[in-house]
Chains A and B, each alone.
Chain A
Amino acid sequence: MRRLVAIFGVALLVATACSGTANPATSSGGPSASAAASDTPVAGGRIVAGATGDPKTMQPVISTDTQSSFVWQWFYLGLTRTNYKTGETEPSLADKFEQSKDGLTLTYTIKPNLQWSDGTPFTAEDWRYTVHAVARSAKTVRKSTFQDIVGWADYRDGKADHITGITVSNNGMTLEIKFGKVFCPATAAMGGAGGGILPSAAFMKVYNPYNTDTKANIDDNALNMAPPASMGPFVFKEFKPGIQVTLARNDKYFRGAPLIDEFVIKVYADATAIKNALVTGEVTYATVEAKDYDEVNKVDSLKGFRYKTSTYNYIGWNAKAAKAPWLANTQVRQALAYGINVDAIMQKIVFGLGTQVYAHTPPPSWAYDESGLNKYKYDVAQAKKLLEQAGAKMGSDGVYRWTDGSPMKMRIETNQGNNARETILQFAQEQYKAIGIQIDPLLESFNALLDRTDPGTDYEGFIIGWSLGADPDPYSIWHSSQTGKGQFNDVFYSNPVVDQALIDNRNGPDCSQTARKAALHKIDQALNNDVPYTFLYSADGLFFSSKQLQNVDPSTYSQTWNIEKWWFKK
């Protein structure tokens, strides 16, 4: 599951587990990683986290924003989870998961004696219910995850009253999923049920998916804002709009009841307010922006953690832009890559708290390999040379004219409220002026930006980011077929070699890490040469928590994986 990075609320950049997938390699470098082991943990206390808005919903099927997932992630878990450090898929509500030899059948065995917070047993039925709810939801963005399951389309379209490829047996302890074709990321992707698993007993009362009525769905009901039961460390207690969401300890949590009594998500006006609240101790933990790192690092009452993240920021160039036909030309895009000083961005906008990237695969991934990639070192002369080779002629006003005689002028847009991106936008404007390209900057809300960059012709450049799951499957971002409305290839990238490699990586048939890594490297090399994006950087996660809070150990894929063990030292 990939998700565009909003970074409105700092605290919310926290991974939300991303229903991600497999495998190793991340560094966690922080001033102090583990807590004093000698002290005996004491129960009690309250954690306060900051958010920049109310949750839209507390139900994962229809959730699309970080404010929401920051709440429901505490109730609704997956069968598997991503290891916080390595990114490997590890058991959670399921004990075991096995893929058949042909890769077409996946079997999960549920942990015995699991209970929801309201006392009902947890079974594979809950998973089955959730996936059916996804299939009929009109608001979900998670359908593509399940499209290869046998019988998916028939059920979705109302031709069947259940998905035939899903079988629950052995008293609800065994779940078997059959696929129409091999799907390499299946293990991890299926485990999460596209977010979290819902308590089917409670939700059945408001919506029954086992029929052919495609009009009814789970999108609007009272339980979406009042989670009835929890499998996670906390249960829902109270929602005060504009003020806070209060969660209480779940004594039935299968990893053990948390030592903390209460978890409160308090709403602040913006990221700066959350940072201030962290500094004054109103908020117990938060991730901060790079520009605030030095200031917060000086605060005695806090300890800091720094780790790589599975995200990156980039400037996308729309190859089908009506007002900027030159963006279809590879040499022009290469010029745009040479024409911006990413070193300076790393130094002065990211303050060195990140990794420069040259292609798609993010640094913590097991598939990361920057060998053989062009670094596009800042070079104005080279940029101009490439522009001229592409056919541009310098005009008398210092702006290049494209082959059709029009001046090379275009917009670059980004979302308001993201400080680093706003700064990069203004920086890019000046930088591109130096290579004879005129930029008109445009700021808009994050939603408006997503809306505007829905594949089409009326946008040119845009600065945004990807937050990627642990399993690398960039099919929907780079495949040439993914350019329809609502799809993610909004730069209209099309390269037959990449198309093939994307399918190899996704559908095998060889799903081994070596084979997939080779395919992914092929993709990265092509992207690095074609530069459909000007790749910028992957920002580090900068996590701070109160010094009194013990056992905190945040990393790339989860910051709160062991929250049940957190406790306050007096």
Chain B
Amino acid sequence: MATQAAAGPVPVAVPEVRRASAGLWSDAVFRLRHDPTTLVAMAVIAVFVVLALSADLLAANFFHRAFSQQDILSSYDKPSGAEPWQWLGTDELGRSQIVRLLYGARVSLFIGAFGALTAFLIGITTGVTAGYFRGRWDDVVVWLVTTLNSIPILYLLLIIGILWRLEPLPFAILLGSLGWLGICNFSRGQTISLREREYVLAGRTVGCTPLRLMARHIAPNILPLMIVLAMIEVGQLILIESAISFIGFGIQPPTPSWGNMLTNAAQYLGKAPYLIYPPGIAVLVTVLCLYLVGDGLRDALDPRLRGSFGVRR
């Protein structure tokens, strides 16, 4: 999802979107042009994504440091301008913080984006089918959503953390498969109202299969808003990753993620207080921008929906 947002301040991605919603999108672009906050937020995310993607390149050619490269004799160096790799100082093993921050961006954004993609796929599939078919299946989906909504997510992750040891990819999928509730709820509600519309009824009378109806007539209509929700989900998952890392069950070092960098920094508050700020600010800014973009996009797509979702953590 993050890469989509990274298409640039002006969403040139518009032509790729289905014809069915083209009007909606061009309308949205118009509104977005008058929303500087959202544009700036988009630009910031774009920059973060580009930096994360070019982490290898930058590390090798500009910083001349690998993320795991240690230089224990220059540990706890305060941030300095002497060499690029020292810009944010070094940690207890003399590793360059700025390089780790870049790679951390990669891991955190990957987990956020991939998790949100999972959540998006599960959420929209269950939501649309439940809303369309109603009946038993709907009951099951609603039950599942209510159930998962009744377990505080960090507690659930704690249990999972005890029982399994997770690598970034399974971790992202896991987070996604716990984070689809909002998307499911929303797409289900939309589908319920859409399925009674004339054009859907018309489709049904001419003998369209349910699959075709859902895929061609219902999903495209709710897709834009779901994309917005998924984008906000990216932000939430980045937060959850940092929280679960803080309690020690997230991505394990030496692979850096913003979460485990923060956790590590918390151990050295006395010795190297400057370590705690960059990863925290990185999370704050990224998530803030994702929310602002989501917020702005949603307003642009449908101003009536302003403020109509809560945030789950």
In the complex, is A directly touching B at CB under 8 Å? yes
- Taking Cβ atoms with an 8 Å cutoff, the residues of A that contact B are 272, 275, 291-292, 294-296, 341, 344, 347-349, 416-417, 419, 422-423, 426-427, 429-430, 441, 443
Q: Indicate which residue in A291, A416, A417, A422 contacts B270 across the interface (CB closer than 8 Å).
A: A291
B-chain residues with CB within 8 Å of residue A344 when the two chains form the complex: 72-73
Asked if B92 is at the interface of the complex by the 8 Å CB criterion, the answer is yes
The answer, among B68, B72, B75, B270, for a CB contact under 8 Å with A292, is B270
Identify 22 residue pairs between A and B in the complex whose beta-carbon atoms are under 8 Å apart, listed by A's number: A272-B267, A272-B269, A291-B92, A291-B271, A292-B270, A292-B271, A294-B270, A344-B73, A347-B73, A348-B72, A348-B75, A416-B248, A417-B248, A423-B92, A426-B93, A426-B253, A427-B70, A427-B72, A429-B254, A430-B70, A430-B93, A441-B253
Determine how close the nearest CB of chain B comes to the CB of A522; give it in whole angstroms: 35
CB of B60 within 8 A of chain A? no
| Pairs A-B, 4 closest by C-beta atoms | A295-B270, A430-B70, A344-B72, A348-B72
Please tell me which one of the listed residues A295, A417, A441 contacts residue B271 in the complex, with CB atoms under 8 A apart: A295
Contact between B267 and A419, CB atoms less than 8 A apart: yes
Assembly CA distance A296 to B94 (angstroms): 23
Select from chain A the residue with minimum beta-carbon distance to B69.
A430
Task: Fill in one digit per residue for B224-258: 1 if any A CB lies within 8 Å of its CB, else 0.
Answer: 00000000000000000000000010001110000
**Cβ contacts under 8 Å, B87 to chain A:** none
What is the interface of chain B, defined by CB distance below 8 A to chain A? 68-70, 72-73, 75, 92-94, 248, 252-254, 266-271
Known: A291-B92, A422-B253, A443-B253. 18 other contacts (CB 8 A): A275-B270, A291-B267, A292-B270, A296-B270, A341-B72, A344-B72, A344-B73, A347-B73, A348-B72, A348-B75, A416-B248, A419-B267, A423-B92, A423-B93, A426-B70, A427-B93, A430-B69, A441-B254
Which B residues lie within 8 Å of A295 (CB)?
Answer: 270-271
Q: A294 is contacted by which of B70, B248, B271 (Cβ under 8 Å)?
A: B271
- Measured between beta carbons, the chain B residues less than 8 angstroms from A349 are 72, 92
Secondary structure of the A contact surface, majority rule: helix
B268 CB → nearest A CB, Å: 7
Q: How far is the CA of A43 from the CA of B88 in the complex (A)?
A: 52
| Bound-state Cα–Cα, A323 to B188, Å | 52
The answer to whether A272 touches B253 (Cβ under 8 A) is no
Contact of B268 among A291, A296, A348, A416 (CB under 8 A): A291
Shortest CB-to-CB span from A421 to chain B, Å, is: 12
Nearest residue in B to A347 (C-beta to C-beta)?
Answer: B73
Which of A347, A348, A349 has the largest number of chain B CB atoms within 10 A? A348
Q: Which residues of B contact A443 (CB under 8 A)?
A: 252-253
Cα A441 to Cα B94 with chains together (Å): 18
Measured CB to CB, the closest approach of chain A to B79, in angstroms, equals: 19
B248, B253, B270 interface centre (most CB from chain A within 10 Å): B270
Q: How far is the CA of A65 from the CA of B258 in the complex (A)?
A: 34
Residues of chain B within 8 A (CB-CB) of A417 are 248
Residues of B within 8 A of A441 (CB): 252-254
CA distance A15 to B102 in the complex (A): 44
Assembled-state Cα–Cα distance A34/B73 (Å): 36
Min CB–CB distance B169 → chain A (angstroms): 18
Q: With the chains together, A349 CA to B268 CA distance in Å?
A: 12
List, in ascending order, chain B residues with CB within 8 A of A429's CB. 254
Query: A426–B68 Cα gap in the complex (Å)?
Result: 9
- Using Cβ atoms and an 8 Å threshold, which residues of chain B touch A347? 73
Cβ contacts under 8 Å, A292 to chain B: 270-271
Least Cβ–Cβ distance between B76 and chain A, in angstroms? 8
Also in contact, A430 and B252, with CB within 8 A (given A272-B266, A292-B271): no
Contact between A430 and B68, CB atoms less than 8 A apart: yes
Find the B residue at minimum CB distance from A429. B254
Cα A429 to Cα B69 in complex, Å, equals: 11
A332 to chain B, nearest CB (A): 23
A419 vs B92: C-alpha distance when bound (angstroms): 10
- Distance in angstroms from A489 CB to nearest chain B CB is 28
Chain B neighbourhood of A272, CB < 8 A = 266-267, 269
Bound-state Cα–Cα, A295 to B68, Å: 27
Nearest B residue (CB) for A441: B254
In angstroms, Cα B252 to Cα A182, docked, is 50
Q: Considering the chains assembled together, what is the distance between the CA atoms of A275 and B70 in angstroms? A: 28
* CB nearest neighbor in A for B272: A291
Smallest CB gap from B92: residue in A: A423
Chain B residues contacting A291 (CB-CB under 8 Å) are 92, 267-268, 270-271
Distance (whole angstroms) from the CB of B198 to the closest CB of chain A = 60
Provide the bound-state CA to CA distance between A430 and B253, in Å: 13
> Using Cβ atoms and an 8 Å threshold, which residues of chain A touch B253?
422, 426, 441, 443
From residue A95, how far is it (CB to closest CB) to chain B in Å? Answer: 47
Question: Which residues on the B side are within 8 Å of A423 (C-beta)?
Answer: 92-93
Residues in A whose Cβ lies below 8 Å from that of B267: 272, 291, 419
CA distance A295 to B271 in the complex (A): 7
Residues of chain B lying within 8 A (CB to CB) of residue A416: 248
Which residues of A have CB within 8 Å of B73? Answer: 344, 347-348
Min CB gap A9→B, angstroms: 15
A294: chain B residues within 8 A (beta carbon): 270-271
Q: A322–B267 Cα gap in the complex (Å)? A: 35
Q: How far is the CB of B246 from chain A (nearest CB, A)?
A: 12
What is the CA–CA distance of A184 and B240 in the complex, to the nearest angstrom?
57
CA distance A419 to B93 in the complex (A): 12
In the bound complex, CA of A447 to CA of B254 (Å) = 22
A264 to chain B, nearest CB (A): 24
- Residue in chain B with minimal CB distance to A416: B248
Asked whether B254 lies within 8 Å of A426 as measured between CB atoms, the reply is yes
Query: Which residue from chain A places its CB closest to the CB of B76 in the assembled complex?
Result: A348
With a cutoff of 8 Å between Cβ atoms, the chain A residues found around residue B93 in the complex are 423, 426-427, 430
Contacts of B69 in A (CB 8 A): 430
Hey, which chain A residues are within 8 Å of B75, CB to CB?
A: 348
Q: How far is the CA of A294 from the CA of B273 in the complex (A)?
A: 13
How near does chain A come to B204, taking the closest CB pair, in angstroms? 57
Taking each of A275, A423, A441, which has the highest tally of chain B beta carbons within 10 Å of its own beta carbon?
A423
